Structure formats: C-alpha cells, structure tokens
Amino acid sequence: MATNTTGKPSIMQLWDGLQPSKAMLVWACVGSVIATMVVGFTWGGWVTGGTSQKMAMSAGDDARAELASVICMENFNAAPDSSAKLVEFKALTDSYKKRQFVEAGGWAVMPGQTSADRNAINGCITALDT
C-alpha cells in the first residue's frame, strides 16, 4: 500500500485494501436499514398504518364539519327573517345560549337527519359570529 507525503495511506488506498467479512456486510445492511427508517419517520414524513387511519378519520370529520356548517349557513340565510335572527343571535353573549338558538332554529339539522349535528352547530356559530 503506497502512502502519501505524511506517511499515512489515503482514504482511497484504504478503501482499495478493504476486505469486508460477511458479518460486516450484514451489519452494514442492518445499519443502513435502521438509518433509512429513522430518517424516513423523523424527516421523511412516513407514518404507520394506524397513524394514517387516524389522520384520514380526522380529515373526514373536518370535511363533514365544514360541509355541515356551510349547509347550516345556507339554511339560516334562506330563512325569511334571517336578518332579524342575525341581530337576535349577535345580541347573545353566552355560547350555550348561542348553541340553543341555532339548534332551536333547526338550521343545523342535516339532510336525512332528525336532530342537529354538533359539528354543524359549532361551525354555524363560528360563521355567524364573524
């Protein structure tokens, strides 16, 4: 093995002279797999199947709540006395009374349901407050 001017072999010379054993190759592969998984799950955005199911359920719930609040607002605006009801709603300060007001108005009842949806009520209250 040739050396450089400092008397030490260069990295390329060391690499050329490397004779890895089977055990070293196996452990290098295991280390590479572990490093790939660590990088993937921490920085790569990888998630487990359970986490992806939770994320999908949450996204679905959020989408249903948004749609329900839009339907509630459409029902509210379609009412013949919506401007008077809006003034009456804005006069309420307690969130519980606002819930009761929207629920009693029936605007948060989704098509095909008989009772008001909690997410629709919350979204409708938020939209009416703005």
> Would you say residue 35 lies in a domain?
no
> Would you say residue 77 lies in a domain?
yes
> Would you say residue 37 lies in a domain?
no
> Would you say residue 92 lies in a domain?
yes
> Would you say residue 106 lies in a domain?
yes
Average pLDDT over residues 43-66: 93
> Would you say residue 51 lies in a domain?
no
> Would you say residue 55 lies in a domain?
no
Range of the domain at 66: 60-129
> Would you say residue 103 lies in a domain?
yes
Residue 6 pLDDT greater than 80, yes or no: no
Would you call 3 helix, strand, or coil by DSSP? coil
Domain count, the chain: 1
Question: What pTM does this model have?
Answer: 0.64
**Partner residues linked to 44 by β-bridges:** none
Q: What Å distances lie between residue 34 and 42, 46, 52, 70, 85, CA to CA?
A: 12, 14, 21, 47, 61
Q: Mind listing the pLDDT tens digit for each residue in 58-103?
A: 999 989 888 988 999 999 999 889 999 999 999 999 999 999 999 9
CA dihedral angle for residue 44, residue 45, residue 48, residue 54, rounded to 10 degrees: 180
Query: Rounded CA gap, 50 and 37, in Å?
Result: 17
pLDDT of residue 130: 79
